[in-house]
Structure 1
């Protein structure tokens, strides 16, 4: 495993954890409105993580 794969995994898990936290806060009523920028940012970070994992695997072979 190189640093790109590790960073990609950390980004995906971090973005997923944050999105779950936002969903839980919205469901419980702590958030009055849905933060639309948060889901777009989550998708962007997950795509970046997948790109890093893919490029890290290409460099390994």
Structure 2
């Protein structure tokens, strides 16, 4: 029974390794652009805030 399952487990391990590696690469890449990403995400909030108010977190 285990011999039938073995190729599937090998394929699963391969795909999980590639997925985790891609996630790590993306996270490391995002560290270089964190200011741009933060500005992009907070832009709609800055527009919606009343005049004279500001976000507590500063860039």
In the superposition, the TM-score normalised over structure 1's length comes to 0.45
The structure with the larger Rg is 2
Pick 1 or 2: higher relative contact order, CA cutoff 8 A, min separation 6: 1
The structure where helix makes up a greater share of residues is 1
